[in-house]
Structure formats: structure tokens, C-alpha cells
Amino acid sequence: MGLLEITKSLGTEEECEKYLERMRWPNGVVCPRCGAERISKIKTVKKFECSRCKYQFSVTAGTIFHKTYIPLTKWFIALYLICSTKKVTVNQISKDLDLPYKTTWYMCKKIKRAMKNKDFSKLCGIVEIEKV
């Protein structure tokens, strides 16, 4: 997806949450604590509850987006900018997203750490490699 497509299809928090839910659990929501598949949705607080262990969790639980107050729309744009641009600076992302430098630095650090993680999912979709 290009930047325009991302901003059109993932322009609201609700759309971002639905997208994240589909990406995390393509076969339906699963409890991150016990692995149960019987999950109830608590719409008033945007959480799920496991029928087996009663654990409540959000779509961002266990991700780099967990417990941040930055909207998912801005996270997804930052991800796009970092992954699609050779040399993008924290300053530029900060200006593009209208966020303070320290907040943007923190986001970029979390994104890059997640990308270095060996458990990071395999690349999917169309993958382009530029020969240097």
C-alpha cells in the first residue's frame, strides 16, 4: 500500500483497530494468555474477554502500540515512512505527524526494535529488494 492508500483505508482509529485485529488473528481472536478461542467483545471499552480465563485484552495488547496514547493512524504512517524511505529522519517524521520530537524518537525506537526481533513475522505481500 502507498501512503495515500493507507490514509484512505486506515484513516480512523476504528479502521486501524479492525486492520490490526485481522492481521493479528486472521482465523479469529485468540486469548494471548491461555490461547482460548471463545472470546467475547466488550464494545464499551474496546476490549475482548476470554471465556476461559476471564482475561481482558485489547487489540494492541502485546504489540508495540500497547499503552501508548499515540493514535494508531499516526503509528501506521510512521511505519510506512520508516519501511519505505531509505533515509527518513526522526525530525521529518515528527514534522509529518505533528508530534513532539521525543515522542517520535520513542516510536521510531520501538518500531526498529520490533523489526530486529527474531520472532518478527515473515515478510508478506510484495517484497522489493534494492541491489546496492
pLDDT at 123 over 60: no
Residue 132 — very low, low, confident or very high, per pLDDT cuts 50/70/90? very low
User: Could you give the CA distance from residue 98 to residue 94 in angstroms, rounded to a whole number?
Assistant: 6
User: Could you give the CA distance from residue 72 to residue 17 in angstroms, rounded to a whole number?
Assistant: 8
Give the residue ranges of DSSP H helices in 10-100: 13-24, 72-84, 90-97
User: What is the DSSP code (8-state) at residue 83?
Assistant: H
Residue 121 — very low, low, confident or very high, per pLDDT cuts 50/70/90? low
User: Could you give the CA distance from residue 131 to residue 100 in angstroms, rounded to a whole number?
Assistant: 35
User: Could you give the CA distance from residue 90 to residue 108 in angstroms, rounded to a whole number?
Assistant: 7
pLDDT one-digit tens code per residue, 104-114: 999 999 999 98
Residue 90 — very low, low, confident or very high, per pLDDT cuts 50/70/90? very high
pLDDT one-digit tens code per residue, 14-25: 999 999 999 999
Among 47, 45, 27, residue whose Cα is nearest residue 35:
27
Report the interhelical angle of 101-116 vs 90-97 (nearest 10°).
120
pLDDT at 86 over 50: yes
> Are 57 and 48 spatial neighbours (Cβ–Cβ below 8 Å)?
yes
User: Could you give the CA distance from residue 47 to residue 111 in angstroms, rounded to a whole number?
Assistant: 24
